[in-house]
Copies of this chain bind each other. A is one copy, B any other.
Amino acid sequence: LDLTTWTQTQGRRWPSRIHISRRFLEAAIGARYRVVELASAKSESSYCPARAVIVDGSRPFDRNWYAAMPRLSLIACFNTGYDGIDVDWARQRGIVVTYGRDVNHEDVADFAVGQILNIYRKISIGNRWVHDGEWQSGRRLMTRSLAGLRLGIVGLGSIGNALARRADALRMVTSWWAPRDRPGVSWPRAPSLIELAHGTDVLVIAARANESNRGLISATVLRALGPQGVIINVARGSLVDEAAVIDALRRGTLGAAALDVYRDEPTSHSLWADVPHIYLSPHIAGVTNLAMSRMATLVRSNLDAFFDGKPTLTPVRATL
């Protein structure tokens, strides 16, 4: 069987996330499949016969590849996001799309918890204090207990659920909002995103990104959250109006923001140089050893199922 992996966007020098997991992927699939790395492919003939591609689903999939791989019948996103794939377009051509469902939702939830603790319990601020001699000069730090902290979760999928369970153990009070209700959930759903922001201290964005929710976390939402409010984005950069966040932090109308994802990745460090109360991370909320291993295993299982003529394990469902 022929297979290609798509590790680099043409014309961009940004090494894809797949580089991290390549050894996992090769160990997982190399025995059964012939693998061609698109980024280093010498000629079109090397990937022309490919029947499947393994891709970073969060990055745009160039349809020109389709023309170059006429036998393509499976797009296997190794990660959770598939916002880079036009699923309807693929379906019309009979191409199955799979994704890394639930491979790292708990790790992402852990990371959000880590940023909540970092911000409210002043973990990195405390470290700076001691190193800078502030403690010795007699100043003392007071921190805010997580007990009773009002957590608002935007999107109650697997990440949101994992976060809400952790928040229970950490004595936070959880509410959530998503366009669609989820019957049987024990945490209350706010009537609207604005009301969720109004009634919570910290808003964690854990929704799947699509065209309909671009810029969902707008200046209006940030205003509803208020000057003590905190946002944490562990979903996708497109969901948050980055310029509005920067503006609100500069004007003190938002308390703090922790961003793991950005409009452009990698984000430019100069964009954040003089932004106060900003906590940045380089899209690592879901990047763990365990996630990489699970992604590779799931890609293999999806490939095997597909080429054995069975239903894939984690197909992307119809968007409507």
Give the residues in chain B near A115, CB-CB below 8 Å.
Answer: 123
User: Could you say which of B111, B129, B144, B284 contacts A289, with CB atoms under 8 Å apart?
Assistant: B144
A269-320 residues with Cβ-Cβ distance < 8 A to B are 269, 272-273, 279-282, 284, 287-292
Copies of this chain assembled into the complex: 2
- Whether the Cβ atoms of A114 and B110 lie closer than 8 Å is no
- Given that A110-B170, A138-B13, A269-B133 are known contacts, is A284 also in contact with B127, CB under 8 Å in the complex? no
Complex-state Cα separation, A238 to B2, whole angstroms: 63
User: Is A266 part of the contact surface with B, judged by Cβ < 8 Å?
Assistant: yes
Within the complex, the shortest CB–CB distance from A278 to chain B, in Å, comes to 9
User: Is A64 part of the contact surface with B, judged by Cβ < 8 Å?
Assistant: no
User: Could you say which of B111, B145, B268 contacts A290, with CB atoms under 8 Å apart?
Assistant: B145
- Whether the Cβ atoms of A266 and B144 lie closer than 8 Å is no
User: Is A132 part of the contact surface with B, judged by Cβ < 8 Å?
Assistant: yes
Give the residues in chain B near A146, CB-CB below 8 Å.
Answer: 107, 110
User: Is A20 part of the contact surface with B, judged by Cβ < 8 Å?
Assistant: yes
- Given that A124-B127, A126-B284 are known contacts, is A135 also in contact with B267, CB under 8 Å in the complex? yes
User: Is A45 part of the contact surface with B, judged by Cβ < 8 Å?
Assistant: no
Give the residues in chain B near A17, CB-CB below 8 Å.
Answer: 140
- Whether the Cβ atoms of A289 and B145 lie closer than 8 Å is yes
- Whether the Cβ atoms of B20 and A136 lie closer than 8 Å is no
Give the residues in chain B near A130, CB-CB below 8 Å.
Answer: 266-267, 269, 272, 280-282
Known: A126-B282, A130-B280, A145-B289. 9 other contacts (CB 8 A): A20-B140, A110-B117, A114-B114, A122-B284, A129-B281, A130-B281, A131-B269, A136-B268, A166-B169
Give me the interface of A with B, judged by CB distance under 8 Å.
13-15, 17, 19-20, 104, 106-107, 110-111, 113-115, 117-118, 121-124, 126-127, 129-136, 138, 140-148, 165-166, 169-171, 266-269, 272-273, 279-282, 284, 287-292
